[in-house]
Structure 1
Amino acid sequence: MRKLLAPLAALLMAMGVLAVVLPSAASAAACATAWSSSAVYNGGAVVSHNGRNWSAKWWTQNESPGSAAVWADQGTCSGGGGGTQCNYPNWAAGTFYAVGSIVRYTDGNHYIAVHENPGYDPVISHWYWDPYTCSGGPGPTDPPDPSGFVVSQAQFNQMFPSRNSFYTYSGLTAALSAYPAFAKTGSDTIKKQEAAAFLANVNHETGGLVHIVEQNTANYPHYCDRNQPYGCPAGQAAYYGRGPIQLSWNFNYKAAGDALGLPLLTNPWLVQQDASVAWKTAIWYWMTQNGPGTMTPHNAMVNSRGFGETIRSINGSLECNGGNPGQVQSRINAYQRFTQILGVAPGGNLSC
């Protein structure tokens, strides 16, 4: 019967009755979910990148498939997850780019930073940049944290690659309940700008979340204001700077402790022993204190007064109005880097 079918098929095809689809080479596999520089992948995870599927050999984060040994090439792919979607900022000379940053160059192509750099040209500085393929609209994002915080754990780790293990992400998200309006007021843009502004100032105060306590021990005895009716029950030199915002002075420990329901006046060491307490004191200052400024840092951001006003509220008397422009610029640089990681414009009024 098989031999008789061939002439019949040929006759039917000649009559236009039968269309024959000739076998073709095996088509490419469907593309897995696109690789994301901020996502964490365990061994066995499969992603797509630059038109190919890749399998993770072990745990990895921010290691680009095709340029890191952790990824095993699984061959070409098409459709499916496809290339990472395009919603990346335009490259700007002089802007700091962390590893994993993706930009759109003036030629319309995209590039990913494989080494951090201060804004080197992607088409010239090939050691710092690799070509990056993407298409369409918004790309994949990290799963949202149950706390609803606009900064994911992967983004937090990218912001603070050398942080002290004391400053945990879980400690930060646990502290959010103390002030629910923090980074949850206004539009998504404002929420991200506020989170970036807070973390940029924290970055400056702690050297990148490295220092838990103030490093200049000679200052320790100065932070006791004995004119306060409650004095300094923990000792003359007990109220030195601690935590993400470097809380100092007995009256600040008293006010923060009263607001948070914590015995910080009598036990200021809690701020350097409990990550959640440390983060709570920083958010307390951010949400409730004008400092040397005219508004709280929270109000500065949610009312679009600009990042510069948060600097004024934290250390304005020493840094703003030409007091220490280098310190101000350090804070601005961190803010611009963090807003880039969060994919949001920094807004105006960056300096004070």
Structure 2
Amino acid sequence: MAPLSPPASSPPAEFSLRKIAIPAFGPSLLFGIGEGAILPIVPLTARDLGASVSMAAPMVALISIGSLLNNIPASLITMRWGERWAIVVAGLWSGLGMALCVFTSHLGLFATGCLMVGMSQAVYNLARQSYMTEAVPVMYRARALSTLGGVMRIGMFIGPFLAAAAVHAYGLEAAYAIGIAGVLGAAAIGARIPDLEAPPPPPGQVAAPTLVSTLRDHRRVFLTIGIGVVLVSAVRASRQAVIPLWAEHLDLAPAVASLIYGLAGGIDMLVFYPAGKVMDHKGRRWVAVPSMVIMGVAMLLMPLTHGFVTLLIAALAIGFGNGIGSGMIMTLGADHSPRHGRAHFLGVWRLMSDIGSSSGPALLSLLAASLSLALGIAATGLIALVAAGVLAYWIPPAHR
């Protein structure tokens, strides 16, 4: 298989994302399908194992917790084994975690399996981002990473439908079979990706970069654009709860709420490539800032909606704003990551993103419980506008 990046003698214009579609994006699609297949089934399996409703719901959160806790170890794994083998190991570890979920009758082991799936997610996402950052010319970077994020979302969208059909025919265990097949398929394709040559150390550098030196050398980026990334992630994670919660507040039927959520997700998946192209040609600000402004304004207006049509408009705006920001966090991380010690940098970057993803819904829940759901949604909208301001101020006018 030809390398993902063109030979050094080839002009950048010869590079084509279309030519590398299968090795570059195939694993992400399959990994997304695999994880998407099991997510709706995890609480149901926990209930079958004897968990109460209050215990079953947090089982899905264990996947996010596993990812959050494993970001830094994921950087060490990637630095030690390289991106290709990290991708393979992530697929195998995720498949093992899913197998543990389906074959155990003990709730504690089931929870361990869910945690393993989240751990593999951290390794896979970091290794894939690091590989694409190095392999794709910088002039195509945003399109490549936006497509990477978009393809993963498409997989997460397809997975539950495949699982639903399998569960209907064969029972809950069939969803895990779909999941295992997806992540092992991602590992198989990942194993055929060519290794990248390690860049020579910069002149004068004696010791290899460490996590501590990476934090020290890039602290300004982490404390500026990195704060924006935390805020962006908080808003994005909260949006998944905002739409169904407000639909319930308006007494809309669950089927109607699902329809609104699905249409917003459809818009989300349609716009990732054009947004990446704009980032490549105009600069990152041209997408990052509008993405947060659109989501912020839509969330501020959502508490004013009063029925299906107005909520649908707000939800579609949120989906569009989120969709054009697909790959934005990965692209900003790639832009500022050093060639030497890149995995360490991206590990911290992804950790900050996951901290935002965990804190956003928690803040929404706290405000909804202590004040009101409307104020919680409005506060999330304000966070989005603050994120837009942070990104507008700190993102350079044009990418390097």
* Larger of the two Rg values belongs to structure: 1
The structure with higher relative contact order (CA 8 Å, sep 6+) is: 2
TM-score (norm 1): 0.28
More strand by share: 1
Greater fraction of residues in helix: 2
TM-score, reference length from structure 2: 0.26
